[in-house]
Structure 1
Amino acid sequence: MTKVKIPYSKRFLEVEIPDRNLLAILESKAHAYKVESTQEDIVNKALDNPIGSPKLEELVKGKKNLVLITSDHTRPVPSKVTLPILLRRIRAVNPKIDITILIATGFHRPTTKDEMINKFGQEIVNNEVIINHVSEDYTSMVHVGTLPSGGELLLNKLAMEAEVLISEGFIEPHFFAGFSGGRKSVLPGVASAKTVMANHCSEFIASEFARSGVIENNPIHIDMLYAAKQAKLAFILNVVIDSEKNIINAFAGDSELAHVKGCKFVMELASVKAVKADIAISSNGGYPLDQNLYQSVKGMTAAEATCMDGGVIIMVSACNDGHGGQSFYDNIANAKSPREVLDKVIKVGRNETLPDQWEFQILARILDKFTVILVSDLCDPEMIKKMHMEHAATFEEALERALKIKGKYATITVIPDGVSVVVR
C-alpha cells in the first residue's frame, strides 16, 4: 500500500492506495519548493523590485485616495501577511491617504465579518474601511465600455473613481482563465454580474484555449486583461503559495507584466504529464477552496485531464457550505442527464448567459464522460446525488466502489491537490 496525504477542509486525509493499482501521483513542485526567507521578506523583496512599474510608494505619493482590491473568503490569499505590509508601506509615504479595501467577490456571495476576521485579522477589520463588491447591485457600477468579446463592461464605482487602484492576489492554475491573479481582481472580481456572465459565456468556456495553464488565445483572459487596463489597475502584488498556504514567491508591479512573470514561475512548478488511468483521484486543495461544490469543479478538471473516458473520478472535497450557487445546483439537479445540460447550454447566446452557467457547463462536461464519487462527511449526501454524482462518507468507501465499477485491477492516478497542477 502507498500512503498519500490529501487536503480536506482544514486537515489532511491520509489514504492508502494498493500498489498493484497505482500508476502515478501527480503533484506540483510548489509543494516541495524550499525557501529560506520569511514570508514577509519575500513580499518586501517583490515590492522593492517591481516589474515594469515604479515602486508602490512612488505611485501613492501626493494622492488623496486609494482602493486596494483583495480576494474574498473563497481564495487562500495570505492577506494576514500581505495586507499589513501593503498598508504600512503606503502610509509610510502618505499617512493621510484615504484607503478603501474592496473585496473582489466576483459572482460569489459577500464575505461575512467572521470570514473577514479569519482572513485579514481582527486589527484590520476593526480599523480599516472594508467593502464587499456586490455584482448584482447595479447602482454601485459604472459603464466603462465594451469588452473585446462584445459584452458590456460595468465595473465597481469605487474602483473606477479611485486615484490609485491596486490589487493583491495569488497565482495558481485556473481551469478556464488559465491562471488566477492579476487581471482577475477586476474581472470578475469587481465587475457586474452582467459583465461576468458575458465573459463566461458557453462559447468561451467550450474553447480549446479556455483551459488550465493557457493564456495565449484564451478569449476569457483577453476580456479580463482589457477590463484591468480600462480600470487603470496601477499595481499588483501577487503571491505563490505551497500546500500549507505559505508564500514561496511574490511578484509585484505592472498588472500585466508582473502577472505574466508569476504565471511562468507557477507553470514551471505546476505542469505535470497526464498518466491516463481508469480511476483518477483529486481534491480542491482543502480549505478555503473546498467549502462548496461550485469551487470543487476546479479540482475535478485536473482529474478529467488524466482519467480515461468512462472512468471514475473520486473527488475529495468537504463542501461544508453546500453547493455554492442556486443556479448552479438547479441546472444540474433539474436536468434528466448531464448531456441534456450540455445540449441546452451551447445554444445560449453570449449576452444571455445564465447565472453560474460556466460552472454547471464544465461540471456537466465531466459528468457526461465519467462517474464522479464525491467524498465528504460534512455535506448533504442527497444534494450530491441529485446533482448526478455518487456520495461517499469516507475515501475507503469511494475507492471500494470505484474498484467495483472498473474492476479490482483498475489503474489509479492520484492528484492530491487538483487546483495546484496543470495536467498536460
Structure 2
Amino acid sequence: MKVSVPYGRSFLPFEAPDGRLRSVLTSRLHELKAGAPEKDLVRASLNNPIGSAPLRDLAKGKKNVVIISSDHTRPVPSAVIMPLLLEEVRAGNPDANITILVATGGHRATTQEELLTRYGPDIVKNERIVVHNSHDDGVLVRVGTLPSGGDLILNKLAVEADLLVAEGFIEPHFFAGFSGGRKSVLPGIASYKTVLANHCAEFIAHDRARTGILEGNPIHADMVFAARSVNLAFVCNVVIDSDKRIIAAFSGEMEQAHEKGCQFVGRYARVKAVPADIVVTSNGGYPLDQNLYQAVKSMTAGEATCNKGGVIIVAAECSDGHGGEAFYRTFEHIPTPEGVMNLILARGRDQTEPDQWQIQIFARVLMDYTVIMVTSAPKEMVEHLNMRWAPSLAEAVSMGEDILGNPQASITVVPDGVAVIVDKA
C-alpha cells in the first residue's frame, strides 16, 4: 500500500511491505469537504457567535483594540481571518486603534517576510503589527498568580486593551489537550517566566496533560485562568484540513466557542491505536516540521500506537535545524533519557528550565522506543540527540528491522501525527 507522508511543503512516498501494514491512522477531518468558501465560513461564524454578542457590537465605544494572532510556527490562515476581524471591529467602531499582536510564546521573532506571507502586503503596510517578545520585561506587566502558583506576567498591550480578541486554530495538542482559544494568551503573549511555570515537570507528567484532554488538565486550567485574567473577550478559531484550508469556524466567547471547536475536532480526529513494531509518522509538514524540537509532537502519536521497545520513524524536514539550544544540549552532561527524566522530575514548579517540557516528553519517548528521523537536519545533529538518522522512509524501515532483529516487523502509519488523537488500545 502506498501512503503519502507530509514533509516540508511536500510529501514523501511510502510503500509499506506486503502483508506487514497493520493500519493507516488518519483524522477524518481530512475527508470533510467545506460547505462554503473559507471567507464565508469565517464570516458566518462571526455573524453567529457562540455565547457572545457579535464582535462589531463588542467594539462599540472601545478605543484600543488588540487582536492576538498566531506566529509563523502555526498554519493559521490569517490572510483569510484577519481582514474579516478588522472589518468587524471597524464596523462597530471606525475610529478604533487596532493593534495586531503576534503571539510568539517562547519562539523566535516572526520575520518581516513571514508577516507578509501570513497577512499579505496590505495588512503589513497599513496595520500596526507588534511581535511579542517574552523575554523583554519592558513590554510585560504582572497581572496576578496562576492556579499553579507561578507569576502571571503578560504583554502590556493586551492588559491595557479596551477590547482583546484572538484568532487561532484548533488541533490536538500533545499536553494542552487542544490548541486554540485560551492558548493565544498563555503561552502566546506571556512572559517566558510564566510559560516556564505553566510547563512545569509536575504538570507535564500529569496523566491528564495529554492529547485531546481538557477536563482535569492542570496546564489547560492555568491557560484559562490567564485568558480570563486579561479579559480575552472574543475568539475566532478555525479548523483546517491537510491542505491547511478552513473547513469549520467557531467564533464567540473564549471558552464556549473553543469548547465547541474542540468537540468538533475530537469527533473526527480520534482514532483507536493499532499497535505495531514500527510506527511511521510526521509533524504534518510545514510549518510544524521546521525543527527537531517541534518534531517531538508527532513522536507522542507514535508512542500511543507503538509496541513498547519498538521503533518510531518521524519524517520532519527541520529546515530551521534543532530549534532550541537547551533542547539540543539535552544529553551533553547526562547521556541517558532515564537520567534526564530523573533530573527533570526532581525540579519543583518554580524550577522549570527552558525547553524542559519538550525535553521531558522527548526523554519519555526515548526511554521506551528507538526514534529514527528522516530529515534534512544533519546526521550529527540527530545523533547528538540520541536518535538515528535515515535518508529515506524505506531506509528507516530497514534500519528499524535491523534494530528489532525482525525482518517481518509489523507497521502502522500515522501520516500526520499532530492531526490525530490516538486512543491507546
TM-score under structure 2 length normalisation: 0.98
SS at match of 1:331: coil
| Deviation sequence 1:276-306 (CA, Å, 0-9, x none) | 1100111000000000111111111000000
Q: Take 2:19 and 2:54, find their aligned partners in 1: how far apart are those partners?
A: 55
Structure-2 residue corresponding to 1:114? 113
Structure-1 residue corresponding to 2:229? 230
1:258 aligns with 2:270: no
Structure-2 residue corresponding to 1:91? 90
Q: Take 1:192 and 1:64, find their aligned partners in 2: how far apart are those partners?
A: 25
Checking the alignment, whether the CA contact within 8 Å between 1:333 and 1:387 is kept in structure 2 is no
Q: Take 1:93 and 1:68, find their aligned partners in 2: how far apart are those partners?
A: 15
Q: Take 1:241 and 1:312, find their aligned partners in 2: how far apart are those partners?
A: 30
Shift of 1:254: 0.4
1:78 aligns with 2:110: no
Q: Take 1:381 and 1:124, find their aligned partners in 2: how far apart are those partners?
A: 40
Give the partner amino acid of 1:274. A
1:349 aligns with 2:348: yes
RMSD (CA atoms): 0.9
Structure-2 residue corresponding to 1:148? 147
Structure 1's unaligned 5+ residue stretches are none
Alignment of 1:291-302 (within 5 A): 291-302=290-301
Q: Take 2:332 and 2:220, find their aligned partners in 1: how far apart are those partners?
A: 30
Q: Take 2:93 and 2:334, find their aligned partners in 1: how far apart are those partners?
A: 56
Checking the alignment, whether the CA contact within 8 Å between 1:332 and 1:360 is kept in structure 2 is no
Q: Take 1:171 and 1:333, find their aligned partners in 2: how far apart are those partners?
A: 36
Shift of 1:126: 1.3
Give the partner amino acid of 1:405. I
Displaced runs of 4+ in structure 1, greater than 4 A? Answer: none
Structure-1 residue corresponding to 2:402? 404
1:384 aligns with 2:382: yes
Give the partner amino acid of 1:386. H
Shift of 1:405: 2.0
Shift of 1:309: 0.8
Alignment of 1:353-364 (within 5 A): 353-364=352-363
Structure-2 residue corresponding to 1:44? 43
Identity of aligned residues (%): 56
Structure-1 residue corresponding to 2:416? 417
Shift of 1:88: 1.6
Checking the alignment, whether the CA contact within 8 Å between 2:237 and 2:251 is kept in structure 1 is yes
Shift of 1:118: 1.1
Checking the alignment, whether the CA contact within 8 Å between 1:39 and 1:246 is kept in structure 2 is yes
Q: Take 2:39 and 2:184, find their aligned partners in 1: how far apart are those partners?
A: 22
Q: Take 1:204 and 1:89, find their aligned partners in 2: how far apart are those partners?
A: 38
Structure-2 residue corresponding to 1:105? 104
Give the partner amino acid of 1:19. D
Give the partner amino acid of 2:203. F
Checking the alignment, whether the CA contact within 8 Å between 2:58 and 2:92 is kept in structure 1 is no
Give the partner amino acid of 2:386. H
Give the partner amino acid of 1:203. E
Shift of 1:93: 2.8
Alignment of 1:211-360 (within 5 A): 211-360=210-359
Shift of 1:335: 2.7
Q: Take 1:236 and 1:333, find their aligned partners in 2: how far apart are those partners?
A: 42
Q: Take 1:239 and 1:116, find their aligned partners in 2: how far apart are those partners?
A: 19
Q: Which moved more, 1:318-327 or 1:177-186?
A: 318-327
Q: Take 1:257 and 1:421, find their aligned partners in 2: how far apart are those partners?
A: 22
Give the partner amino acid of 1:55. P
| Deviation sequence 1:150-173 (CA, Å, 0-9, x none) | 111001100000000000000000
Structure-2 residue corresponding to 1:188? 187
Shift of 1:19: 2.6
Shift of 1:333: 4.4
| Deviation sequence 1:351-386 (CA, Å, 0-9, x none) | 11000100011001101110000001x222111100
SS at match of 1:194: helix
Shift of 1:128: 1.1
Q: Take 1:306 and 1:358, find their aligned partners in 2: how far apart are those partners?
A: 22
